[in-house]
A and B are shown apart, each in its own frame.
Chain A
Amino acid sequence: MFAGPIQELVDELGRLPGVGPRSAQRIAFYVLEADRDSALRLAQAIVEVKDRIRLCERCFNVAETELCTICSDPRRDRTIICVVEDPRDIVAVERTREFHGTYHVLGGALSPIDGVGPEQLRVRPLLVRLGVEGVAEVILCTNPNLEGEATAMYLARLLLPIGVKVTRIASGLPVGGDLEYADELTLGRALEGRREVNG
């Protein structure tokens, strides 16, 4: 145990994901020894993110105003929605610069073990958006694991009767990689999803 405020900081840091007790201690003492300005900058950054960041009212991405930067960009194609589990997935898709539509953040994936069912995800708001935004295609961009696949399947069943086009991202090999280093699960999936070559 350390003197009151230090122990408090260690305990709070220890709650953060990926920070164990020893890292918490190291960070706490770093903060203690750092000059006052840089410590305050950290504190201010935490306050700012809590005060100024909220969720986009349309897609539930992180935002500074009612709408996130993507939803408020008039150049984005609002007829295509890419459904992701988490705001961080938006960043990943944006890095491709291949997608010019809008997003919808579910806030997770179906996982009964963790008590997550459709009611815990932002499914209903998605259905509402389909009604009012004239959406032509929904891309299911959930993770290619068991829970993500189940979520994609659930959404497909919900959306197809509405008459919207529903697509699922493909699974396969990393570009620029070597076949011999691919794990057999991924390679197997890539074989399953092979395409005919039209030379």
Chain B
Amino acid sequence: MNETVILRLSLRDFRNFDTVDFYPSQDGLTVIQGENGAGKSSLLEAVVYVSTLQSFRGAPREAIVRQGAIEANVRCDVLAGKRKVETEISILLGRRDRAWHNGQRVPGVRGLLEVLRTTLFTPDDLVLVKGAPSGRRDFVDDVLTRSHPRLGADRSALDRVLRHRNALLRQLGGRLDSEAATTLDIWDDRLAQIGERLARSRSELVEALSPYAAEAFSILASQAGSFKMRYVSSWEGALSDALAVARHEDLRRATTTVGPQRDDVEIEAGGLDARTRLSQGRQRCVALSLRLSSHRLMTNVTGAAPVLLLDDAFSELDEATARALVGELPDGQAFLTTAGELPPGASPKLVVRLVDGKLKQ
């Protein structure tokens, strides 16, 4: 099995780090210990940034660049298959982020994702299960973008079509003459075409994730039995027909009431709806299962296991679940941040402590 391995990570003026140079263990678990606020998550944030040019904490670039500096740099040497790639990114305030592979400019995020893929676990993943449908849609679209970039591009196209259509609906103010109807037809057509394709890709992806998630859940929750995951469309039949039916309502409310932006992923464990009926402990197991399922799927699709990033992922787990997760962690390189003890049963290859912005072995 091919693996993606981070050989070295260097940060300059990233978050609260002046400079950090870090050689993690090339296989197994590297643990980063430190007090709250020491910058543990920032290290993982830098890794994700090198892969996606985005902060997984949703931070703006101004917050990424160390206070007082104007540019942050991350350098990450990656072994992707047999190829060693020195990835560098520059986050310069007031400019677009730039990236290089072995000194060659990388024009887009897709190029970065091809070299370094990550699977991230955080305690916030609970929102995937408990929260609004948008979180589940984003999760599916994120996996889709990473595994099938072309299909993932439909998501940004969908967002744009919806902005156009909703702007048009607002401009119409509830009135529709034949001229306006022709224009609305055009956007309905675009929405129907992109929306149906996106819904189909999402639905197929959920189906592909489902067995992996079911297997992970039965181990994590030590509960065999039914685990179901299903993509639920907000319409039946052709989307163009559904849009035609909803047109009156859409005009009245000046927004688009059917389409993939209203869809959801339904999850059921032991016959109970995961969002509303499971205990919080079980919901955490479902969230972990979703992450593990995306990890396994990516490994299969791309032929290389993504780097595992566990950001404080064990802090809220009960001992049995933590133990089960440690046992279930896929092979390959993994990073774990923790403010406290190691999770039970963990046998790290390397433990570093983060104190005052410096790493100590």
Binding site for B on A (CB under 8 A): 110-113, 115, 117-118, 146-147, 149-150, 153-154, 157-158, 183-185, 188
Contacts and interface: CB of A to CB of B under 8 A. Distances in A.
Contacts of B189: 153
Interface in B171-218: 171, 179, 182-183, 185-187, 189-190
Nearest to B150: A184
Contact of B190 (A118, A146, A183, A184): A146
Contacts of A184: 110, 149-150
A153 B161 CA distance: 14
Contacts of A118: 179, 182-183
Contact of B186 (A113, A115, A153): A153
A147 B190 CA distance: 10
Contact of A113 (B157, B164, B190): B164
A157 B185 contact: yes
A113 B167 contact: yes
Nearest to B179: A118
Contacts of A183: 108, 110
B153 interface: yes
Given A146-B190, A150-B187, A154-B183, A112 B167 contact: yes
Interface of B: 108, 110, 149-150, 153, 157, 160-161, 163-165, 167-168, 171, 179, 182-183, 185-187, 189-190
Nearest to A119: B179
Contact of B163 (A110, A113, A149): A113
A157 B179 CA distance: 12
B153 to A, nearest CB: 6
Given A112-B167, A188-B150, A154 B160 contact: no
A146 B182 contact: no
A110 B186 contact: yes
Given A154-B182, A154-B183, A185-B150, 17 more contacts: A111-B164, A112-B168, A112-B187, A115-B167, A115-B171, A117-B171, A117-B183, A118-B182, A146-B190, A150-B164, A153-B186, A153-B190, A154-B186, A184-B149, A184-B150, A185-B153, A188-B150
A17 B153 CA distance: 28
B161 A146 contact: yes
A118 B189 CA distance: 17
A115 B164 CA distance: 9
B112 to A, nearest CB: 14
B186 A157 contact: yes
Contacts of B168: 112, 117
A48 B65 CA distance: 47
Contacts of A153: 186, 189-190
B194 to A, nearest CB: 9
Contacts, number: 50
A183 B107 CA distance: 11
A26 to B, nearest CB: 16
A157 B181 CA distance: 12
A89 B96 CA distance: 27
A149 B193 CA distance: 12
A184 B145 CA distance: 12
Top 8 A-B pairs, shortest CB-CB distance: A112-B168, A112-B167, A112-B164, A184-B150, A154-B186, A113-B167, A150-B186, A188-B150
B113 to A, nearest CB: 12
A65 B165 CA distance: 40
Nearest to A111: B164
Most buried by A among B108, B171, B183: B183
A132 B160 CA distance: 38
B182 A157 contact: yes
A150 B190 contact: yes
A87 B150 CA distance: 32
Nearest to B149: A184
B190 A149 contact: yes
Contacts of B187: 112, 150
Nearest to A153: B186
Contact of A158 (B161, B165, B167, B182): B182
15 contacts: A110-B164, A110-B183, A112-B187, A118-B182, A146-B190, A147-B164, A149-B190, A150-B164, A150-B190, A153-B186, A154-B183, A157-B186, A183-B110, A184-B110, A185-B153
B187 to A, nearest CB: 7
Nearest to B166: A112
A149 B163 CA distance: 16
A102 B76 CA distance: 54
A96 B185 CA distance: 34
Contacts of B108: 183
A149 B157 CA distance: 12
Contacts of B167: 112-113, 115
Contacts of A117: 168, 171, 183
A34 to B, nearest CB: 28
Contacts of B171: 112, 115, 117
A146 B183 contact: no
Contacts of B185: 157
Contacts of B190: 146, 149-150, 153
